[in-house]
Structure 1
Amino acid sequence: MSRAERARTIAARAAFGGGGLAAAGLLGVGVLRAEAELARHLIGESPGAGHEDSGTYGAGTGRAHQLLLLGDSTAAGVGADDASTTMGATVAIGVAAITGRPVHLVNLGRSGATSLDLADQVERGCEAMPEAEVAIVMIGSNDVKNRVDQTRSVRALTEATSALQGAGVRVVVGTCPDLGTIRPVPQPLRALAQRWSRDLAAAQTVAVVETGGRTVSIGDLIGPDFHELPELFSADRFHPSSAGYARAAAAMLPSVLDALGESTIDSGRSLDHRRGEAVEPLPAAAERAVDDPGSEVSGVAVDGNVRGERGRWAQLLRRHRPEVPEPFTPSGEPASD
Structure 2
Amino acid sequence: MSDPHDQHDRPTFSRDGLAVSRAVALALAPVIVPQSRELRERIPILPEAPGPWRGATGDKSDAHPVRMLVLGDSTAAGVGVDDAAAGLGGQLARALTEATDRRVLWRASGRSGATARDLIGRYLRPALREQTTLVFLSVGANDALAVRSARGFRRDVAHIVDRVFDAHPDAVLLMSSLPAFFRFRGLPEPLRSTLYRHSQALEHEARDLIDAHPRAHMSPPPPPYTEGFFAVDEFHPGAQGYREWADFAVADALASPVADLLDD
Q: Which amino acid aligns with 1:141?
A: A
Separation in 1, partners of 2:81, 2:211: 30
1:37 alignment partner in structure 2: 37
Structure 1's 54 and 118: CA in aligned 2 closer, same or farther, altered over 3 A? same
2:220 alignment partner in structure 1: 217
Cα distance, 1:115 vs structure 2: 0.9
- Map 1:89-128; keep pairs closer than 5 Å: 89-119=90-120, 120-127=122-129
Conservation of the 8 A alpha-carbon contact between 1:51 and 1:78: no
Q: Which amino acid aligns with 1:70?
A: L
Conservation of the 8 A alpha-carbon contact between 2:175 and 2:218: yes
- Map 1:181-330; keep pairs closer than 5 Å: 181-212=183-214, 213-219=216-222, 221=224, 223=225, 229-257=226-254, 258=259, 260-262=261-263
Q: In percent, how many aligned pairs have the same letter?
A: 24
Separation in 2, partners of 1:40, 1:159: 31
Separation in 2, partners of 1:58, 1:210: 32
* Larger Rg belongs to: 1
Conservation of the 8 A alpha-carbon contact between 1:68 and 1:107: yes
Higher percent of residues as helix: 2
Cα distance, 1:139 vs structure 2: 0.8
Cα distance, 1:100 vs structure 2: 2.9
2:66 alignment partner in structure 1: 65
Structure 1's 158 and 6: CA in aligned 2 closer, same or farther, altered over 3 A? farther
Structure 1's 165 and 26: CA in aligned 2 closer, same or farther, altered over 3 A? closer
SS in 1 for 2:124: helix
1:141 alignment partner in structure 2: 141
Cα distance per residue 1:295-335 (max 9 Å; x no partner) = xxxxxxxxxxxxxxxxxxxxxxxxxxxxxxxxxxxxxxxxx
SS in 2 for 1:135: strand
After superposition, the CA RMSD in angstroms is 2.7
Cα distance, 1:94 vs structure 2: 2.2
Conservation of the 8 A alpha-carbon contact between 2:117 and 2:156: yes
Specify every segment of 5 or more residues in structure 2 that has no aligned partner in the other structure, as ranges: 1-11
Separation in 1, partners of 2:16, 2:207: 13
2:79 alignment partner in structure 1: 78
Separation in 2, partners of 1:63, 1:57: 13
Cα distance per residue 1:88-107 (max 9 Å; x no partner) = 11111122233333211121
Q: Which amino acid aligns with 2:104?
A: V
Cα distance, 1:218 vs structure 2: 4.2
TM-score by length of 1: 0.65
Conservation of the 8 A alpha-carbon contact between 2:75 and 2:112: yes
Specify every segment of 5 or more residues in structure 1 that has no aligned partner in the other structure, as ranges: 10-19, 224-228, 264-337
Conservation of the 8 A alpha-carbon contact between 2:207 and 2:218: yes
Conservation of the 8 A alpha-carbon contact between 1:136 and 1:171: yes
Pick aligned residue for 1:178 from 177, 180, 183: 180
Cα distance, 1:170 vs structure 2: 1.8
Cα distance, 1:186 vs structure 2: 0.9
1:48 paired with 2:10, answer: no
Conservation of the 8 A alpha-carbon contact between 1:58 and 1:103: yes
SS in 2 for 1:261: helix
SS in 2 for 1:161: helix
2:4 alignment partner in structure 1: none
Q: Which amino acid aligns with 2:73?
A: D
Cα distance, 1:182 vs structure 2: 1.9
1:165 alignment partner in structure 2: 165
Cα distance, 1:74 vs structure 2: 1.3
